[in-house]
Amino acid sequence: MSRHVLITGGAGFIGANYAARLLARGEQVTLYDNLSRKGARENVAWLQERFGDAVRLVVGDVRDAALLTALAREADVIVHLAAQVAVTTSVRHPREDFEINALGTFNVLEAARLAGHKPPVLYASTNKVYGAMEDLAIVEEETCYRYADLPYGVPETRPLDFHSPYGCSKGAGDQYVRDYHRIYGLPTVVFRQSCIYGPRQWGIEDQGWVAWFVIAAVTERPITIYGDGKQVRDILYIDDLLDAFDAALEHLDVAAGQVYNIGGGPERALSIWAEFGPLLERLVGRRIEVRYGPWRPGDQKVYISDIRKAQRELGWTPKTSMEEGVTRLVQWVQEHRHWFE
């Protein structure tokens, strides 16, 4: 029997990709999205082209508790992806950021609780909940920074330290999602996601840096590197993230109430320009000029996820290499260049 999956932010990058996977498997999907993000309408059109009438779109906002509550009653699973996603936007508009991320997540949880049948809730959190991690010893190398004492990356046991309104709002949601398992028995799972990238991502300078650099390189737009370009991130291809969602639902007896750091881990970590730049130049076939700006507040010199808990408990491991994943993203942007011109 097919499940009915409600995806908030279903027209976004991650939501549309997950919807495509679920629909291809014969699952029922409701996309819940306010269509405010760039690319949302194109993503919906792509899904409708592939799956026709099977695509159910409800245009709504996570601040609308009543509509969410009505939809949750018919959902077997809720995947909560809707969010305000940029730190810079959160600093400019902290109230809006709070209402979307903190209150919006609360509305989703309440909708699930009031549904009565305890649908599992998967929540896309962020590594930003760990803050700037200024106490960690960092070693500077020729093309990158690295942790002196964390060979596997940052574990889930790392103390939380919310920086920026975005960190606070996403972190509040993160903790609410955990607690609704403890207090109400809802099967909830928190994914503290690192840099996720892939096709159908409309990256902008403030969010989705891998996609933004690819889009800018393909359309020959200027790229600004904030800092020295040696700051390191672990990157994860979209299909590997979706495997983690599937694995959590498959192993809900273990995953319910848990938090997982989900990213590429040490094997898929690289500096954002000193190492990523040469890879991108090779894939687009030309030299890319960049300019440098000052470091941005709270920008971690290194963030790498320790993904061993998810590997151990969910049997999940990333499969897509950085080379393969970035190649696919470059090809997708080249094929749809007219959207980004």
Helix pair angle (13-24, 40-51), 10° resolution: 10
- 166 labelled catalytic: yes
Residue 130 near residue 154, CB atoms below 8 Å: yes
Residue 118 near residue 90, CB atoms below 8 Å: no
How far apart are alpha carbons 112 and 180 in whole angstroms? 10
How far apart are alpha carbons 218 and 335 in whole angstroms? 10
| CA dihedral of 45, 42, 40, 226, whole degrees rounded to 10 | 160
Radius of gyration of the chain from its Cα atoms, rounded to whole angstroms: 19
In which residue are the tokens 């993904």 written?
A: 307
Query: What's 225's DSSP letter?
Result: E
Residue tagged active-site, from 166, 176, 197, 260: 166
The torsion angles phi and psi of 248, rounded to 5 degrees, stand at -65, -40
Residue 109 near residue 186, CB atoms below 8 Å: yes
The secondary structure of the chain in percent helix, strand, coil, rounded to multiples of 5, reads 45, 20, 35
**Residues labelled catalytic:** 166
